[in-house]
Structure 1
Amino acid sequence: MSDYNVSKLTTIIEELDLLDHEALDDKPEPANASSSKVKFLDTKPKVVEFLESIRDISLTSTPSLYIDIEGIDLSSHGSISILQVYVHPVGKAYLLDIHTLQEKAFLTPGSRGTTLKKVLESNEIKKVFFDVRNDSHALFAHYGIHLAGIHDLQLIELVTRSYCKTYVTGLGKCIEHDAPITSRERADWSLAKERGRRLFAPECGGKYEVFNNRPLPQDILQYCCQDVEFLAVLWKTYDDKMTLEKREWVVRESIERVNLSHTPSYNGNGRSKALAPLCFL
């Protein structure tokens, strides 16, 4: 083989090796607000569109709405920035811009007069949160919203767990250990979570105020979307282990958590929050 052909073959091999490394690089494309699977709601017409989209699916026996909240010190002293809703039947995440819309996000009515406040306060519409306490506290303190119809996924994990039940578990550990996903999907989730934390977590050099930046940074948007999507995945995993008695216990304890979050003495950062309920089934 001539020197020219050897050189050409070497170049081709190097290029293929580079492409292979790029293909294996765990850097997923961040979610985009214009994506068909993500909607960023920052105007009243967009809120109306969202309410219309959930009008006929929110009364199903299996929860359709999986919700989380991001903000600055979620308490009566802080503020709510974003309310994320994953609508499972349509496979779409909606990010409501509470920082911009404020009370208009909750009080803008759809064509039948339904508002987001009514959805959140409805006993008939099942809604899944993961550890509802701080979210409930912030919603009640700032917008007078009394959550109802809540199924707290942290309690569902606890009641279906087969080992020590002294403490509740965080969402990250639930996703890491229990979500039925591939190793690549778990790596993508972990990377997106870390990218988001670098921007908002003070211990990582970030600031919670990043949730109020507009446009929302892509890494923060991805962070907000993926957790509510995983709530739906985990619900199915745990729900297969539920009994009627366990479901009734979860509903009762979810109500207790909401009521507790409304009391003047509620401490959203208390160490006791890590303990399982005393009246555990």
Structure 2
Amino acid sequence: MKNIRTQTIDTIDQIKGLVDWLVVHHTLPTPFSPTMYIDLEGVSLSRLGSVSILTLFLRVDGPISPIFLIDVHTLGSQAFETAGTKEKTLRDVLQDKEIPKVFFDVRNDSDALFAHFGVALQGVEDVQLMESATRKTTASRKRVAGLTSCIEDNASTCFGGSGLVSWKQAKENGSRLFKTELGGSYEVFNQRPIPDDVVSYCVGDVQCLPELRDQF
């Protein structure tokens, strides 16, 4: 797994810069077009709730890959409707069927993006369904696997034999902040600045997706 660099995107100028970068690196001919690995967090994430953070992991050439936390709670619709110098928006990128976007269980993410911002995702690959398709029997596919179990079953692929313990700890620390049964609240995703444990939790949801996608 590559080293990662995390950056919060919470201003209009940052959105413009990110969108321009995405457009340039996905315009043919390019030697390498990075796949987008995406996850969303929010309060009751769905058409009935809200979107707080869009986490975007770009698998790029080089030793360090960026993970962007787009602050949808702060930016609102401007996160998707702000055009860069290339006259394209994040909505355009997300709706471009030629740009692959990888999710793990895209259902609520897609529902929330379309209901609140009119974003109709295109070019989606769902790692949860890819894992299910690798199973040998119909009976074994009656239930889909969660992200944690997929990562635990493929820890050597994701972490090269190490790192699973710290990944699980980061996920547990984040879960305690928002799971009501643990005394938390999903409103923590709207707390600004974004708490460090929430950042680590969001990173954990996307950092293994490249390896899982390659595996399945």
TM-score by length of 2: 0.88
In the alignment of these two chains, the number of paired residues is 204
- Within 5 Å, which residues of 2 pair with 1:164-179? 164-179=140-155
Structure 1 residue aligned with 2:51: 80
1:56 aligned to 3, 15, 24, which one? 24
1:205 aligned to 167, 183, 192, which one? 183
- Aligned partner of residue 96 in structure 1, secondary structure: strand
Structure 2 residue aligned with 1:147: 121
- In 2: Cα distance, 1:202 partner to 1:62 partner: 40
Preserved CA contact (<8 Å) 1:58 1:65: no
Structure 2 residue aligned with 1:241: none
- In 1: Cα distance, 2:168 partner to 2:11 partner: 32
- Aligned partner of residue 39 in structure 1, secondary structure: strand
Gaps of 5+ in 2: none
Q: Is residue 2:204 matched to residue 1:236? A: no
2:11 aligned to 31, 43, 56, which one? 43
The amino acid across from 1:219 in the alignment is D
Structure 2 residue aligned with 1:97: 71
Q: CA RMSD in A?
A: 1.9
Offset of residue 172 of structure 1: 1.1
Per-residue CA deviations over 1:4-53 (Å, capped at 9, x if unaligned) read: xxxxxxxxxxxxxxxxxxxxxxxxxxxxxxx9711100000011121122
Offset of residue 62 of structure 1: 7.4
Offset of residue 162 of structure 1: 3.7
1:120 aligned to 94, 104, 115, which one? 94
The amino acid across from 2:78 in the alignment is K
- More helix per residue: 1
- In 1: Cα distance, 2:208 partner to 2:117 partner: 27
TM-score by length of 1: 0.69
Aligned-residue identity in percent: 43
Offset of residue 184 of structure 1: 3.6
Q: Which has the larger radius of gyration?
A: 1
- In 1: Cα distance, 2:161 partner to 2:177 partner: 25
- In 2: Cα distance, 1:160 partner to 1:36 partner: 29
1:138 aligned to 105, 112, 123, which one? 112
